[in-house]
Structure 1
Amino acid sequence: MGTTRLAALAGHFGRDVERALLKLDALIAKARDDGIDLLVLPDACLGGYISDLRSPDPDELPPALAADGSELQAIARMAGSMTVCIGYTELCDGVRYNTAACVTGDGILGSHRKVHQPAGESLAYAAGDAFTAFDTPVGRMGMLIDYDKTFPEAARTLALDGARIISVLSAWPASVTDRAERLAQDRQSRLFDLYDSARAAENQVVLVSSNQTGIQGGLRFLGQAKVVGPGGDVLARTGVKGGLAVADLDVDYEIDRARKVLRHLEERRLDTYRSLLEEGRP
């Protein structure tokens, strides 16, 4: 397939959807001019994330948008030939989901509703129920939304479905119980990076990880967008402030090279993972 230019954004997006669309129009146009093939934007780009992770105010929730609404249609037009992953609050049959959509100028190629919900997030969103890979111009890929990447089974399910790129869209804050003075020293900062590298290495895939920055209510987001190779090596990253992590990579070559001797997906021992296979076990 040749070299693919992969990019992950660290940036701040709040409640104002129209303002976000204007910001994204300029950002996506710049990325397209820079030859980026895959742009992964943060979770909750359109309308922002909840302001309190433990007890979200029902009167202060992000605006909910339809998957076939004008907002995602606008993002698709901006994307053109580029593949863009973006997060938003989806409204479907009166139910709200924390959702990621992957679009090009042809429309929505794939979507993912966040499955794993930390703390009080279930008070603001319903949970998704599936991890599914899909085909894109940059290859077969899948998406996760922040807390999903804490669970190895989530990324593994996508890899087993053929995903060679996993996009992780986050609105990942610093610790809400034991906050450090500096974001770089916060324990959630360490975990955010650890999960990115671990999920890439254990599945021998490329992982493109975005995140929100700045403050939303009582939450302060970590940034730390990055592109991770199939050996868990960080190829490009941002700091805690806004920025774009960009890496040029022959995805198929690097994954095939990583799997040349050790092939994690093929060498699993399903007969030994009894507790994972026995329904109802804690």
Structure 2
Amino acid sequence: MSPTVAACQMAVDDLDVEANLETVEARVADLSDEVDIACFPEQALTGFVPDERIAEAAIPRDSVEIDRLRGSAADADCDLLVGFIEDDDELYNAAAYVRADGTVDIYRKRHLWAGEAALLEPGNALLTLETPLGKTGVLTCYDLNFVEESATLTEKRLDALLVVGAWPATHSDNWRLLVRARALDGVRWAVGTGRTGRRDVEDARVVDYTGRSLVVRPDGGIRAELNTAERDLVVELADEALPRQRELVGIFED
């Protein structure tokens, strides 16, 4: 049976970690047994505001909250990818890949957007993993704009790319275009999971988020996508699609 992925599109309660964690736990518990990986948006656990309040919401990687994600993954027998602001002396825009066996890997966003740069440190390493989708890379939101990241990952011949995002609704078309491009230029599956809803926090700029989560085939075509609803996009990734496209487009040899 081909692997199945869920892009769990959600609105986020900025600075309310408990509310967000409960949402993630409930969404994972409601997934079908066929789902192998469930992906949640950038900063899904913490949200983000561009001031010192984000430090109060930040989570260490050895926290109770990450332990609860381990429990959800184990109960559902499903790997999870969940974005959050990580507290590790410095603050990072991070995404935790939590396996059903309890092991965790952390990716730290390498390219910080706008107000992030004044408060967070950039990550310094790309992350590739063995997952139910095969060899898999992780990127976060603005990382998509940097073609050199994709080129480096292409050298690793990834089978899939998982992207967590919180893309502003004003630039919705760019999000969709870039996820498609990163699938096509590496001849791999790409799963983009977006934040939806609105950030409306006192003393912070209001932001509407695009949602538009999507699963993209290795030829750059959209396999399935959402609009702005809080829904799970559950897609089985056909085993034959990747080798067929790589036979047609021989970028690794050429």
How far did 1:255 drift? 1.2
2:150/2:185 contact within 8 Å kept: no
1:230 pairs with 2:224: no
Which consecutive segments of 4 or more residues in structure 1 shift more than 4 A? none
Aligned-partner SS, 2:30: helix
CA distance in 2, matches of 1:85, 1:64: 17
The equivalent position to 1:163 in structure 2, one of 158, 173, 195, is 158
Mean alpha-carbon deviation: is it higher for 143-152 or for 242-251?
Answer: 242-251
Mean alpha-carbon deviation: is it higher for 96-105 or for 241-250?
Answer: 241-250
2:55/2:91 contact within 8 Å kept: no
How far did 1:200 drift? 0.3
2:153/2:186 contact within 8 Å kept: no
Residue of structure 2 equivalent to 1:13: 12
Aligned-partner SS, 1:241: coil
How far did 1:49 drift? 2.1
1:107 pairs with 2:99: no
Larger Rg: 1
1:4 pairs with 2:6: no
Gapped runs of 5+ residues in structure 2? 201-205
How far did 1:38 drift? 1.3
Residues 32-47 of structure 1: pairs in structure 2 closer than 5 A: 33-47=32-46
The equivalent position to 1:259 in structure 2, one of 210, 232, 246, is 246
Aligned-partner SS, 1:116: coil
1:116/1:127 contact within 8 Å kept: yes
The equivalent position to 2:82 in structure 1, one of 73, 82, 86, is 86
Task: Report how many residues are paired.
Answer: 246
> Which residue type is aligned with residue 166 of structure 1?
L
CA distance in 2, matches of 1:108, 1:127: 23
1:225/1:244 contact within 8 Å kept: no
1:208 pairs with 2:191: yes
Residue of structure 2 equivalent to 1:220: 208
1:243 pairs with 2:231: yes
Encode CA deviations 1:165-206: one digit per residue, 9 max, x unaligned.
1110011113xxxxxxxxxxx4x1110110011110111000
Residue of structure 2 equivalent to 1:180: none
Q: Percent identity?
A: 29
TM norm structure 2: 0.91
Encode CA deviations 1:234-253: one digit per residue, 9 max, x unaligned.
111110222222211234x2
CA distance in 2, matches of 1:6, 1:156: 24
How far did 1:34 drift? 4.4
1:62/1:89 contact within 8 Å kept: no
Residue of structure 2 equivalent to 1:195: 178
Gapped runs of 5+ residues in structure 1? 51-55, 175-185, 268-282
Aligned-partner SS, 1:68: coil
CA distance in 2, matches of 1:115, 1:60: 18
1:77/1:104 contact within 8 Å kept: no
1:27 pairs with 2:21: no
1:172/1:212 contact within 8 Å kept: yes
1:141/1:164 contact within 8 Å kept: yes
1:5/1:37 contact within 8 Å kept: yes
How far did 1:132 drift? 2.3
1:41/1:85 contact within 8 Å kept: yes
CA distance in 1, matches of 2:54, 2:129: 34
RMSD (Å) for aligned C-alpha atoms: 1.6
CA distance in 1, matches of 2:102, 2:72: 11
CA distance in 2, matches of 1:261, 1:62: 51
Mean alpha-carbon deviation: is it higher for 56-65 or for 241-250?
Answer: 56-65
> Which residue type is aligned with residue 87 of structure 2?
L
Alpha-carbon spacing, 1:254–1:196, altered in 2? closer, same or farther (3 Å): same
TM norm structure 1: 0.82
Residue of structure 1 equivalent to 2:70: 76
> Which residue type is aligned with residue 189 of structure 1?
S
1:41/1:211 contact within 8 Å kept: yes
Aligned-partner SS, 1:260: helix
